[in-house]
Structures are given as structure tokens and as C-alpha cells.
């Protein structure tokens, strides 16, 4: 998955109503070498998007498909290594990638639709 595989600004991801609050959901665009995977996290009305890749082992965060949040829904968890990340900025606060960040993806909500935003 490469940065140039990021969908262009304006690409619709989903309806905002499809993401619980709190909640998280994954999305994929393209296939093969151009496949781009991200997940949306919504909490306290705020929406954030990150590339679905752990900075430690370059693998998907959701070892159990669709599971991105801790049981108390206050942090993002890597299903492979149990690394914990802050929802608000993707900073790893516990685990093998301590101090590293998830790669953020800019998003915006227009007329109830979540879209890729310009960087």
C-alpha cells in the first residue's frame, strides 16, 4: 500500500450515520498494489481517519476484522501486538511502537457524507 494509492480528495467513503459514536469501521479502495485501506474512528462527535497499518510490523491493525477499539472504546488497539494508540492523534502510548504515530488520512463531512479531504 503506497501513499500514491490514497483516493483523491472528494472521494466518498460512507455516510456519517454508518459510524457509531463511539465506533470504528474499515474501508478499502482499489486492489492489488494500489489497494488502500483506512479506518474511521468516531468518538465524542469527532471523526478521524487512519491508514489501517501498524507502524511496528506494517500489518493491519484489526487482526479480528473490524475491531479497532479497546473494550472501553477509549483507545485504538493493534490486534497483532496489543499496541495502544490515542484516538485523537494516533500516538502509540503502549507497545512495541511506543512514540510512533498511525498515519492519518484527512477527511471531511459534507451533507452527511464522509469524504477524503485535501492534504
Any bridge partners for residue 76, and if so which? 69, 85
Task: Residue count of the chain, please give it.
Answer: 119
**Could you give phi then psi for residue 34, rounded to 5 degrees?**
-100, 10
| pLDDT tens per residue across span 34-76 | 899 999 999 999 999 999 999 988 899 998 888 999 999 999 9
Any bridge partners for residue 101, and if so which? 91
Q: How many other CB atoms are there within 10 angstroms of residue 108's CB atom?
A: 14
Mean pLDDT of 110-117: 97
Distance CA 30, CA 3 (A): 13
Q: What is the pLDDT of residue 33?
A: 85
pTM given for the model = 0.93
Any bridge partners for residue 41, and if so which? 24, 48
Amino acid at each position: 500500500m503506497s501513499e500514491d494509492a490514497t483516493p483523491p480528495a472528494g472521494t466518498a467513503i460512507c455516510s456519517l450515520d454508518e459510524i457509531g459514536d463511539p465506533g470504528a469501521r474499515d474501508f478499502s479502495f482499489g486492489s492489488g498494489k494500489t489497494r488502500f485501506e483506512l479506518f474511521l474512528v468516531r468518538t465524542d462527535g469527532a471523526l478521524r481517519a487512519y491508514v489501517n497499518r501498524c507502524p511496528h510490523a506494517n500489518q493491519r491493525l484489526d487482526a479480528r476484522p473490524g475491531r479497532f477499539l479497546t473494550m472501553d472504546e477509549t483507545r485504538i488497539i493493534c490486534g497483532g501486538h496489543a499496541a495502544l494508540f490515542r484516538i485523537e492523534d494516533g500516538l502509540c502510548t503502549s507497545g512495541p511502537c511506543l512514540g510512533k504515530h498511525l498515519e492519518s488520512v484527512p477527511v471531511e463531512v459534507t451533507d452527511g457524507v464522509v469524504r477524503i479531504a485535501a492534504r
